[in-house]
Every structure is written in C-alpha cells, then in structure tokens.
Structure 1
Amino acid sequence: MPKLLIVEDDPASVLALRELLTRGGYRVVTAADGREALRLLFAERPDLMLLDLLVPELDGWRVLTRARDLSDLPVLVVSGLDDVDHRVKALRAGADDYLVKPFHPEELLARVEALLRRAGHRKWAVSGFGEHLRLVPERRAAVWYGVRRG
C-alpha cells in the first residue's frame, strides 16, 4: 500500500484529503508546515507528496526545492494559486504535476495513480560486478565487498 505525505495547513482540507486517499487505498501521513514536511520525508519515506505551496514555517516552494535535492519522489502540487505563472514555476522547480483547488476528488485520485504508476519501482541495472556488489534500492545504497556506500 503506497504511503502519501500530505503537506497542508488547513485542517478541513487535511481531513478531506485524508479521508479521500485512505478510501482510495493509501496510507497517509500529514504535515501542517514545511519543517514538519521535511522531517517526515526522512522519517516516513513516502511514495508521493501532495504539497500545498502556502504552508507556514518553510513555504511549499522551499519544501519542493529541498525535496528535489534529497529525493526523486513524485510531487503533486495541490494549491489555490491558479495562475499560469505559479503552475509553470512549480513544474520548472521540480513538481511532477499541479492541481488547482478546488478540484474534483476523482481527478485527484487519478493524478495520484498516474504519478505512482510512472514512478513505479525503479530497479538498478548492474552487470559485471558478480557477488561483490549488492544494491539496496530502498536505501539508495550499495554494498561493495561488505562496505555500505551511500
């Protein structure tokens, strides 16, 4: 069951998103501000992040930038900022998709499904290293002659 991180400071929106996504078969963790979001990225290792751009502490722009520095997890921006300049800026900053509030629940679920499908479970291709190299994709690490790298 994929785990989703919702970064949203509006309690009513969090409640609605949690209900919708839980019913959709996802595990959900939430962060009410940008600092908590970055902490949960490390602690929870979600499969996808739904990110509001207007959250306190660290705004969504900074969360997006830092998340991109740390991970390639899919990011769906879910924001009330509906002008084209914000959408383009978010996509160029590393967001994988952008959905404007208010939105239809089925559209959100379809976008989450599409992003997770595209991300898939990436496999590392290795040849020629024999028994001395072991890859640990979930930790983004390699073990070379028994010594962990990464």
Structure 2
Amino acid sequence: MLCLINRKPNPALFEVKKVYQNIKVHPINLIEGRVLIHNKFDFITLEDIKINWELTANGTIIQNGSVDNLEIESGEQKEAIIQFQKPNLESNTEYHLKFISSLKNSVLWAEKGHILAWDQFKVPYSTVKESNKLEDFPELVIDDLKETYEISGDDFKIRIGKTSGVL
C-alpha cells in the first residue's frame, strides 16, 4: 500500500518514485565534475526539465548550480560537466554531489519545480581523519568481581558476565 486511507504517503511511495524515475545521472569522474545524463523517457526530451546540483559537506550545501543544454532526446545519454570549485578539504568530512531534476514550468499534473528525479554520489576526496587522543577521554575504572567485570566512567557503569558475556 503506497498511501494510507487518508492519502498520507507511506515510505514505500518515495521508494517507488525513486525506482521509477526516468532521468538518471551516472558519475564518470566526479572530481572533474563529469557526469552522464540518461533520458529514460520513451517520448519526451529533457528540454522542459531543469537539473540543479548541490555540493555538500556533511550535509551542508557549500556550492550549487544547474546543468545547462539539456536537449537530450528520449532514450539518449549526454555527458555534462559540472562547474564547481574544489572545496577546502576538512578532516572528518564527507562530500556529496546531488542532482535534482524538476519541471521548468507547470503542467496539468504538477506545478513548476515538481521534483521528477534525484541522484546523489559521494565525491571521492580523501580527507585525513583526525585520531582521537587517549588523554581526551575520561579515565575508566575496571573492577574484576567474582562473576562479572564492572567497567565504569564519569556517566556510565556496565557489567559483563565472565562466562556468558551478557551485559
């Protein structure tokens, strides 16, 4: 069931929309901003579709723009180059490039800006992960009791059974 009786969508509806989307972006070389846009529609071109892109760092948009010249015939593919600047890489940060395909104008069944498809890819920037220093953590107390080990810290206490491993 995609919608409840009160027309509230179930999560499955969003999954179906994603699976059935007719515009697909495939990565070629994300570092260079090269992607392949595939028009999976049977009869329409992408000239009435707008594809915007967003470069995010840990989910925060740091750059955005749009893909130009989307005159892609039905069933065809076309390479596009996304013009973005390499960000100042920060440690412990993941970068993603998201593409959102939406209507340029309103149509009978949807308003202008209605999202038809989206794709998101991790940009393979290598960022050095900072290791946590042992002295940054509070000290742990480990007690060897008769049947359990008791490990405690500033705000927790846990017991582990010696024979069963049960917490």
After TM superposition, is the score higher than 0.5? no
Larger radius of gyration: 2
**Shorter chain as normaliser: what TM range?**
under 0.3
TM-score (norm 1): 0.22
TM-score (norm 2): 0.20
- Larger helix proportion of the pair: 1
